[in-house]
Chain A
């Protein structure tokens, strides 16, 4: 458990300094009863011990996976499928998850999927009904399906209820925890269609801060644009960087905006490397 927790804290810290300064242990948590399989401990969790009527709440499906197992990002890449969560809060229904943490590139003998190992938080934003009386308890119900894979793939599912006390004067949920991740910093970019796929161009001014770029990888939100298993080429010969991606076999029409997450690995003056993640909404 401690190992899992420190891994989460570490992952969050890579994109957000505030989390590093605020140990995870200090974040309040309200959890449902777990659904436990041979592979997964699943809970529905809120990163607070109370909420105010009418306030936004991030409710996460938390999947604690046994070593070796993974589940999937919103775009699962060349195999698998993303988790689906349906939440009921008062009279309203919400579909999630809607805040996906940065995925890993999972390469199995050359076939690439996008997903997560370890302790995975998949939050959905909901709103506490305004009419609930402080002092009462708000039940948040969810049904969820998710796929876990190791050497084999197993679809899993669960129903959860987390009971959240309603109170006045609750501090707003702080973002930057795994329960409510800070949005990634945006990076301006352009994209174009090429003969064999797509180019993503990031101008020098925005790309270079932090040291020489030694590697980059783009995770597209849509699953029908690039060949996920093909290598992405990094061209640093001009100003900024150009990332070349092969087209998906079923080449889609050019989208109005190419959305996704860009991982940039930079080498600092002292030789160490760091990878940072940026939100991309590239324009043609």
Chain B
């Protein structure tokens, strides 16, 4: 009940604020919901190409919000967990897009060349790294932390959102102890099954969004 009152309030803000309100923090837009169409987006990759969600109809898409200087991201790259998931996604025919929403001059912000160097240096295997310094894609997905993970099925429906795994820590040793939510979800989707735990709690570093006032 309260939720709908708040929504109404937000909606009116949105209408009154016009285009400027598009950038209101997270809550200004309808929050993405598992089972509903995933927010559409288009963005520019570190390879200079443009990427649109609509281009991937018929394929499963995994979105990974990242910030290479965040210790939670570091845990999953230094352990090799993230790269393994990316290779696993590619082997399953899924499209893995890493998204960087850090604003300029903030932690994790990189230009195209540095993003490509990071991919190479870490032996990462995303299909593309999308640069989102204005936070438009991040806000649309209500991504809050790095890493924050989303999976979209071939029909464009959001089928997973949340954490990469179950243990909120920066310790490498916890990777093998955790329930691997994203790994499990990808396997279930590859097997043609519904995702057993479609919404989990994300953990990590706050995404360094551009202020929206």
Contacts and interface: CB of A to CB of B under 8 A. Distances in A.
Interface of A: 78-81, 108-111, 113, 147, 149, 151-155, 194-197, 199, 223-224, 229-231, 233, 235, 244-251
B12 interface: no
B76 interface: no
B18 interface: no
Nearest to B161: A249
Interface string B120-152: 000000000000000000000010110000000
A153 B205 contact: yes
A217 to B, nearest CB: 14
B173 interface: no
Given A81-B168, A108-B208, 12 more contacts: A79-B145, A79-B205, A109-B211, A110-B209, A113-B206, A152-B70, A153-B107, A154-B71, A195-B3, A196-B3, A230-B27, A249-B31
A113 B204 CA distance: 11
Contacts of B142: 249
A250 B199 contact: yes
A231 B3 CA distance: 10
Interface of B: 1-7, 24-27, 31, 69-72, 106-107, 142, 144-145, 161-162, 168-170, 199-201, 203-212
Nearest to A113: B206
A245 B1 CA distance: 10
A201 to B, nearest CB: 11
A109 B149 CA distance: 20
Contact of A245 (B2, B26, B71): B2
B4 A78 contact: no
B205 A149 contact: yes
Contacts of A149: 205-206
B6 A196 contact: yes
B3 A152 contact: no
Contacts of A196: 1-4, 6-7
The binding surface of chain A is classed by DSSP as loop
A222 B208 CA distance: 25
Nearest to B27: A230
The binding surface of chain B is classed by DSSP as loop
A113 B169 CA distance: 16
A114 B74 CA distance: 23
Contacts of A229: 25-27, 144
Given A79-B144, A79-B203, A244-B6, A231 B27 contact: yes
B169 to A, nearest CB: 6
A168 B205 CA distance: 48
A280 B74 CA distance: 37
A195 B1 contact: yes
A250 B206 contact: no
Contacts of B5: 233, 244
Given A152-B69, A229-B26, A250-B199, A111 B2 contact: no
Nearest to A249: B199
Please provide the 10 A-B residue pairs with the shortest distance between their CB atoms, ordered closest to farther: A196-B3, A110-B25, A244-B2, A109-B209, A79-B206, A250-B199, A152-B107, A155-B170, A194-B1, A153-B205
B21 to A, nearest CB: 13
Contacts of A224: 201
Nearest to A244: B2
A194 B3 contact: yes
Nearest to A243: B2
A199 B2 CA distance: 8
Given A194-B1, A196-B1, A223 B201 contact: yes
A194 to B, nearest CB: 5
Contacts of A250: 162, 199-201
A18 B162 CA distance: 45
Contacts of B200: 250
20 contacts: A79-B203, A79-B204, A80-B206, A109-B206, A109-B208, A111-B209, A151-B106, A152-B70, A152-B107, A196-B4, A196-B7, A224-B201, A229-B26, A229-B27, A231-B6, A235-B2, A244-B1, A244-B5, A246-B6, A249-B161
Contacts of A230: 6, 27
Contacts of B204: 79
